[in-house]
């Protein structure tokens, strides 16, 4: 995803193509997100030293939220012209529905305010005191820069799978290590919901295959109807269309990513205003790296499961119908991890100002 850095291109207009069975499949969203992805990664070509790097990282993410909101508003206007009540697989709109944009923008504001405070503190110091403070802040920045480099080098290794219980336990432990009173309840719930439906759908039979065998099994089904309601639900799951699986995939990625951004926003607020016990900023930065890595790996794992599910359910579909959906889920998964990584970078000035505040308290 980040290995090739190219100049941003103009986003192609969104188009709505009609899928089989009268279902609407939004494929133009792929173009919008491709444009967003390219534009946000341009800055990776730069290697700004010192505090200029911090400001560049913030500007990159600010433009990201602005572009996401613009893409969502354009799609909203387009849908308003159509007489349909159907939900569409538009990542930006779904991401906003789950308050992802609101939390991203709130985190940007908090990060910008913290950056201003850092610069104000630096202007108020001089001599040896200033040099010591600069060294501390640079050491925190270097931890974030190392994570950025690791993201570029290890893109292919993302997607290591953790069981739902293990992931929930890991998040709780990492938040405890940060010494902040935050619980990952919403994120864990979204992750569990996504894993549950995709695991259930792994046993689904494509609709076309079911229709072929319907006549052979009709007599047996009439003679021996399932008495357990759960078995009826299992039969319902087998009739899911590839369009429905695609919609669930995009919606799940949008929800899980929004919950990750929300969790990082809450962590930032608590680091500044509600730490149970003060912890060195360098140590907190290392814990946040583990937290962000766990989130990205889980999202990457989910997107792979969604692609496998689409491939299974759409095995009888033509390539021109199925491939755009699979490619879209792949791109949305990659962009989701990018948004989480960008949100992590916004925490840098938050940790820096927290360090300054703690240091100031300790000094007479």
Least confident of 30-44, 224-238, 268-282: 30-44
Buried b (16+ CB within 10 A) or exposed e, 274-295: ebeeebebeebbebbbebbbbb
The tokens of 143 are what? 């931890």
Instruction: Read off the pLDDT of residues 186-236 as tens digits, 9 standing for 90 and up.
Output: 999 999 999 888 887 665 545 444 444 444 445 455 555 555 545 444 444
pLDDT of residue 340: 96
Q: Residue 50: pLDDT above 60?
A: no
User: Which of helix, strand or coil describes residue 299?
Assistant: helix
Buried b (16+ CB within 10 A) or exposed e, 106-138: bbbebbbebbebbeebbeeeeeeeeeebeebbe
Query: Would you place residue 296 in the very low, low, confident or very high pLDDT band (cuts 50, 70, 90)?
Result: very high
- State mean pLDDT over 246-251: 94
CA 50 to chain centre: 28
The tokens of 148 are what? 């950025």
Q: Which residues contact 88 (CB under 8 A, 6 or more apart)?
A: 16, 24, 26, 75, 79, 247
Query: Would you place residue 309 in the very low, low, confident or very high pLDDT band (cuts 50, 70, 90)?
Result: very high
pLDDT of residue 62: 47
Contact yes or no for 167/191 (Cβ under 8 A): yes
Share of the chain above pLDDT 90, in %: 44
Angle at 271 between CA 339 and CA 101, to 5 degrees: 30
Q: Residue 71: pLDDT above 80?
A: no
Contact yes or no for 311/247 (Cβ under 8 A): no
Cβ atoms within 10 Å, residue 146: 13
Residue in 53, 48, 37 with CA at minimum distance from that of residue 4: 37
Rounded-to-integer distance, Cα 213 and Cα 119, Å: 70
Angle at 148 between CA 343 and CA 133, to 5 degrees: 85
pTM of structure: 0.71
Q: Residue 79: pLDDT above 80?
A: no
The tokens of 136 are what? 């501390």
């Amino acid at each position: 995803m980040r290995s090739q850095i190219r100049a941003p291109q103009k986003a192609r207009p969104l188009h709505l193509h009609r899928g089989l069975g009268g279902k609407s499949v939004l494929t133009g969203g792929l173009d919008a997100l491709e444009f967003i992805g390219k534009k946000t990664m341009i800055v990776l070509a730069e290697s700004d030293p010192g505090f200029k790097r911090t400001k560049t990282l913030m500007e990159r993410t600010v433009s990201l939220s602005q572009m996401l909101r613009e893409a969502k508003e354009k799609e909203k206007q387009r849908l308003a012209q159509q007489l349909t009540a159907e939900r569409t697989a538009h990542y930006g709109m779904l991401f906003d529905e789950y308050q992802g944009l609101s939390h991203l923008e709130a985190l940007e504001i908090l990060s910008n305010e913290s950056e201003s405070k850092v610069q104000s503190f630096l202007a108020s110091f001089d001599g040896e005191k200033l040099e010591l403070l600069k060294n501390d802040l640079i050491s925190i920045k270097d931890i974030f820069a190392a994570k950025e480099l690791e993201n570029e080098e290890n893109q292919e290794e993302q997607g290591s799978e953790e069981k739902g219980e293990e992931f929930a336990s890991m998040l709780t432990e990492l938040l405890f290590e940060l010494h902040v009173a935050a619980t990952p309840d919403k994120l864990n719930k979204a992750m569990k919901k996504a894993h549950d439906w995709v695991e259930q759908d792994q046993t689904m039979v494509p609709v076309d295959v079911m229709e072929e065998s319907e006549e052979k099994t009709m007599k047996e089904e009439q003679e021996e109807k399932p008495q357990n309601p759960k078995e009826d639900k299992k039969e319902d799951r087998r009739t899911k269309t590839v369009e429905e699986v695609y919609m669930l995939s995009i919606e799940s990625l949008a929800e899980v990513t929004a919950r990750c951004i929300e969790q990082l926003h809450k962590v930032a607020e608590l680091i500044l205003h509600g730490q149970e016990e003060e912890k060195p900023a360098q140590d907190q930065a290392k814990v946040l790296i583990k937290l962000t890595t766990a989130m990205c790996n889980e999202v990457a794992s989910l997107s792979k499961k969604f692609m496998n599910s689409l491939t299974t359910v759409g095995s009888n579909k033509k390539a021109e119908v199925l491939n755009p959906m699979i490619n879209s889920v792949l791109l949305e998964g990659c962009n989701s991890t990018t948004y989480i990584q960008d949100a992590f970078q916004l925490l840098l000035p938050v940790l820096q100002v927290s360090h300054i505040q703690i240091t100031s308290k300790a000094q007479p």
